[in-house]
Amino acid sequence: GFDRGGKEDMPTTCAELPRRSTREKRPPDRFQASIVCQVNTEPSNFNEIKLYPTKDQVVWQETMNRELKLLKDLEVYEDVKLPPGERAIGCKWVYKIKTGVDGTVTHKARLVAQGFAQSDKDYDEVFAPSLRANTLRAALVWAAKNKCKIN
């Protein structure tokens, strides 16, 4: 047999079990994104919200109400009577769930016009739901430099 420094060879009576890894078992990272997407899903349209649990329905409804209030406060739109034979352009809600750096989840809802339904004669009229503070600041600086009157 094999010399172990003067010790006698000891016969092995039981078969040794194969060595097992002690590493934590978890799915590959490429599957983690799909799990996250399934947990936080965004509705694709207004009617889909009705299929969500009541708690989520309330969150999305509050989000839409905030957006409508913001549009009204900024005087983005005005009620007008349509001329005979004309149809209004439709609109659609676009939903987004955003996660902050600190892990906070924010629900966003944006009301967008369906511009593809706009006829050729109305293409000059544009719609922008809000103005960023940086854009306003830049416009005011430009107006001050050029000595423009601001109403």
pLDDT in 10s for each residue of the chain, 151 residues: 555 555 555 555 556 777 888 888 877 777 665 544 445 688 988 999 998 888 999 999 999 999 999 998 988 888 888 889 888 888 899 999 998 899 899 999 999 888 666 666 655 666 666 777 888 899 899 999 999 888 7
Residue 15: Cβ-neighbour burial (10 angstroms; 0-12, 13-18, 19+) = exposed
Instruction: Give pTM, 2 decimals.
Output: 0.52
Neighbouring CB atoms inside 10 A of 129's CB total 14
Domain ranges of the chain: 35-115
**Do 45 and 64 form a contact (C-beta atoms < 8 A)?**
no
